[in-house]
Every structure is written in C-alpha cells, then in structure tokens.
Amino acid sequence: MSDRDSWRRVHPLSPVVRGGRATIAIGVLLLPTVLRGGDLKDSYVQLGIAAALTALGFVSWLVTRWRIDGDDLQIETGVLRRQSLRFPLAQVQAVDIVRPGLARIFRVAELRLRMGGASGSTARLAYLPEQEVEPLRVRLLALASGVEHGEEAEAPAEERVLTTVPTGRLIGSILISDVGLIAEAVIAVLVVTALLAPAAATGVVSGGAVWIFAVLTLVWRRFNQEYRLTLAESPDGLRLRSGLVALTAETIRPGRVQAVRMVEPLLWRLLGWCRLEVDLAGKQRSKGEGEAERRSLRAVLPVGSRALAEELLDRIVPDRPRQHARAPRRVRWKSPLRYRMIAWGRTETCVATTSGRVRRVTCWVPLQKVQSLRRVQGPVQRRLHLASVHVDTAGRGVHAILRDRDAPEADRALAQLSELARAARRKPT
Amino acid sequence: MSDRWLRPSHRLLVLRRLQAAAATLAFVAVAAVLAVYSGAVAGLVCAAGAVVFGLAAERFVRRRFAAWGYAEREDDLLVQRGVLFSRLSVVPYGRMQFIDVTAGPLERSFGIATVRMHTAAAASDARIPGLDREEAARLRDRLAELGEAQAAGL
C-alpha cells in the first residue's frame, strides 16, 4: 500500500447506527401513524422531523472522511465548523473495537484509538464495514510502533486467556447485587399489586415508569457489558473482551493501572464471590464515547471466587502485602460497623487497605502511582488518638484510606509510605 | 524530621480578623435595630449574642491561622492545616502538574496571595493561603524548578 492513502468515507449507514436511540425514537414517532392505517399525511410534524434528521445524517456522512497519511491518521468532519484532526500513530495507547447492537445488525464496527499525551483524546472511526476493521487495526498497530506491536497484533494467538465469566454466575451475581435487588423489589411490588388490585397496578406502572425503566436499564447495561467477559494476557497488556449485544474489545497496558480494588458485597461474601476492578488515569470522560467508557473503573473480573481473584491479582500487582494490620480496639466506638474490616498492609512497592462492613472494599495501590499522601484527623479521632492516612492516585474511582489507625502508627505510616513512594518513583520501570 | 516549618503572613490573620469583625458588626447592627423596635431586653440578649459571637469568631480565626504551616523538604512539600479536622498533606515535587498563584481583591489589597499545587489526583489538596507576594513568587518558582527536576510520569 502507498504511504499516503486516498481519502475514504465511513460506511453509509453510519449516521443510522450513530443515531442509535434517536433512530429507534424516529421509528417510534412514526409508529402510531403507520398503525392507524398508513395515512402519513396526518403527521407532518413527525415526518418533517424524520426527514430533517435523515438529511442531517446524510450530510454528516458526506463531509466525514479519513485517510492514513504516513504516520498520522487524518479525520476530516463538520460542515459549519470544519474539523481536520490529525492523530500521530506513535502516540496510540490502545486500539479498541466497539460494536453496539445496531452496528452488529448492519455489520459495521467502530474503531477507537486511545491517544497518549496530556489531552488523552480518542480518535473514533465510526463506522467501518466489519471485514475492514480487523486488517485496519493490525495495520494501525503496525504503523504505531513499530515492530513489536505490529507483530503482536498480527499474531493474536500469543494471548493467553486467563478467565471467562460463566453466564450463570453473572446472572446470579447481578440478581443479588445492589442494582439487582432494587429491580427485584420493584418487580415484586408490581406483581403483588397486580395480583391484589389489577386496577391499581396500571396506575403504579404508569406513575413509576421512569424509575422502573431506569432500574431495568441499569441491570441490563451491567449484564450487557459484562456478558462473557474474557480476560486475556498478551505481551502488550491485559485484553478484555465482553458484550452480549454491544461487543467491546479493550487493551489495558500493564503500566497504566493506577490502582486495583476488590469489592465484596455482603450477599456475595456468603457465596465467596468478589469483583475485581482496575482504575486507569488515561480515561477521559470525553463526550460521545459510549457509556462503558465513561466509567473510569473497569471490571476485570465482574464476579468470581476469591481464589480466582487472587490469581488475577498476582498478575496485576504481584508484590502485594499478605499480612494486614487490624485497627485498634477502641475504633469500635467510632466505627462500630466497619471496625472488624478495617485493615491495612504494605510491602516495599504496594499498599493495601480494607474497609466496609456491608460492602467490603479492598484497594491496592502500587506505590509508584501514589500522587500524594494526606494524614487527616477529625474531632472524634483526636479524642480517641486515631488518625487516617489517605493515599491519592490519579484514578478517579479508588480511594485507598488507611482508616482509623493509632495516631503514632499513622505518622509512621505517612513517613514510611512517602519514603517508599519516592524510592518507587525513582526506580526505572 | 527536622523540617523548617514556615507560616503564612501575619497579614492573613489581620484580614481574617477584619472579616470576622465585619460579621460581628452586622450582628451588632441587627441587635441595635431590635433594641430600637422591640425593647431593651431583646436588644440586650442580641448584644450579648454579638459579643459571644465576636469572641468565638476571633478565637476560631486565630486558631485556624495558627494551624497553617508548610515545610519544603528535599523531595516533597508538607502542608498542614485545619483545627477541627487537622490535615497534613505530603506532595512530592515530582508529582506536581502545575502551580497556580491566586489573589482576590481583598488579598491583593493586603499584599498576599494563595499558592496551590495540583497533582494528577483530584483529591490532593495542597493550598497555602496568605503568603507575602514575594514569598508566593519565591515558592512558585522554587516548586516549579524542583518539579521540573524531579518530574515523574503517571
């Protein structure tokens, strides 16, 4: 292929897929008229809106084009505000392929390039024909870096699957998760009212429709995102693939994990289950990205046994503390519930904290990623000679806190941790 | 740790005292209005309240001012603050993303400024208010210099 490609357009159906919900909404708008006997003349407004949106979509397709120019990916788009974007491929951190439900129906896929650098923006090619995406991904990765990534991308067999979440377990875990329990409560209330007073049920449904819809959406989104989530290890990091309707494939580079946390809700603990999430810094909440990307925490193990979680932790934070120091007894007066769970431990390169009675959360922060440390002492803590040490990282989701320690211990921990973090920073990675 | 702790300028205390005094004056004004319109008893109660409020505000402001402190160590900056919730932040120079120096109109008229350090973590809160203008500039330059020398990636 030549170094400089000619301009190319995205798939003609892109606006339809990109519209997503809007497309469905147009369908819904037109539905009543169609059902009433097909006399479309009665609904000028709906037709007008549909026509306008179609025209807009067509124009946006017409003006969007892309090409690979040497080491850059160029995208041009926009009518009134013409944008010409140039993404240097050398700065690509990861290439993701995303296929929402509508895209799969039309056999197209979106290619996303996560860029490094301070802005951390994302280049999106939405949407390309399915058969073109994989070769393009390989080519982009090969251009991005040279040899090792190119070879790696061409030989996906190199990756080693660590775990896949069984669907039955995922369903079970969602049923007894916080979101799931709310949804079940809502449904139970509906069923009971429907049985006792069928007349009242319609009122309840129409009154609480928004809430019911919101809860069900949450449950669905979680299921859809984590369906058959497969974690694999490859030379360029952890690979995550998941999705029932919308498929995503993501790569997390090993050095980019800012913190890891394990969540164990009360009901899950009874079954010995837990959830493992990693926190990344690079994820910007940029507009237009899917819901999945808006969350900074990424579940690498939506649900699994402790043993499995330990195994994965060995990969992500190999050197982690095995022994955790419990909180002093007098903490019972301040935090009667979480007292039993509060603990912390450290090694030369990692600090771990645990807290939470109902929802036990354990955080691991590699000391290399520590941004700053804070010792905080509130009035009650002062009375009891306690203090907490907060470990701040660049991630948004994990808050590691050495909660309620003996005040001298907290001081020592603060001094030691800042010393160790300094050493970890200096060490070349 | 034999750190040399530095404190904000005394002018910060003066400024905070003035602000407390202004609040107390407002209180006194209300007391005066009440005394005129609804008799001496209510006015007296309010006046007593104003005195108590003023004293409490003065004590609060003084203790809060005394709690501020910062120390430049070899590799990190320590910032201490807070009376009820006392906080001690350790911010490594290598983690600083940028530093900003702000001075509102009141602060400007007192010739003081606030220096704030930002790291990649949103939670790091390293802010030193009420520095003399020269000290703020010195600290800013020194931090920028040290930050550059020790900069570490994410």
Residues B48 and B75 in one domain: no
Confidence of residue A117 (pLDDT cuts 50, 70, 90): low
pLDDT (0 to 100) of residue A420: 92
Nearest to B87 among A370, A376, A399 (CB): A376
- Percentage of chain A modeled with pLDDT above 90: 16
A238 Cα to chain B: minimum distance (Å): 18
Closest CA in chain A for residue B77: A372
Residues B20 and B61 in one domain: yes
DSSP string for residues in B68-97: -EEEE-SSEEEEEE-SSSEEEEEEEGGGEE
pLDDT for A135-171, tens place per residue?
Answer: 887 788 777 755 444 444 444 547 788 888 888 888 8
Residues B76 and B139 in one domain: yes
Find chain A residues with C-beta within 8 A of B77's C-beta. Answer: none
Average pLDDT, whole number, for chain A?
80
Residues 6+ apart with CB under 8 A from A71: A88, A89, A90, A143
B92 Cα to chain A: minimum distance (Å): 7
ipTM of the complex model: 0.86
Q: Which two tokens stand for residue A407?
A: 């005040």
Out of A171-175, A218-222, B127-131, B149-153, which region has the weakest mean confidence (pLDDT)? B149-153
Nearest to B84 among A379, A392, A415 (CB): A379
Instruction: With H, G, I as helix, E, B as strand and everything else as coil, classify residue B123.
Output: coil
Residues B37 and B53 in one domain: yes
Q: Is the pLDDT reported for residue A91 higher than 50?
A: yes
pLDDT (0 to 100) of residue A284: 43
Residues B131 and B96 in one domain: yes
Q: Is 2.30.29 the CATH number for A317-426?
A: yes
CATH number of the CATH domain containing B130: 2.30.29
Closest CA in chain A for residue B85: A378
Selecting from 2.40.50, 3.30.70, 3.30.450, 2.30.29, what CATH number does the domain A8-158 have?
2.30.29
Is residue B1 a part of any domain in this protein?
Answer: no
Treating both helix axes as pointing N-terminal to C-terminal, what angle do A44-63 and A21-35 enclose, rounded to 10 degrees? 150
Treating both helix axes as pointing N-terminal to C-terminal, what angle do B10-38 and B40-67 enclose, rounded to 10 degrees? 170
Is residue B144 a part of any domain in this protein?
Answer: yes
Domain extent, residue B146, equals: 69-150
Is residue B118 a part of any domain in this protein?
Answer: yes
Residues B53 and B89 in one domain: no
pLDDT for B129-150, tens place per residue?
Answer: 999 999 999 999 999 888 888 8
- Percentage of chain B modeled with pLDDT above 90: 48
pLDDT (0 to 100) of residue A290: 42
CB within 8 Å: A376 and B85: yes
A373 interfaces chain B, CB cutoff of 8 Å: yes
Q: Who has greater pLDDT, A35 or B87?
A: B87
Is residue B20 a part of any domain in this protein?
Answer: yes
Find chain B residues with C-beta within 8 A of A375's C-beta. Answer: 87-88
Q: Cβ distance A215 to A182 under 8 Å? A: yes
pLDDT for A369-402, tens place per residue?
Answer: 888 999 999 999 999 999 999 998 877 778 899 9
Question: Considering the entire predicted model, what is its pTM?
Answer: 0.77
Query: What's the number of domains chain B is made of?
Result: 2
Q: How many beta carbons lie within 10 A of that of residue A215, not counting itself?
A: 19
Domain boundary among B45, B65, B85: B65
pLDDT (0 to 100) of residue A408: 93
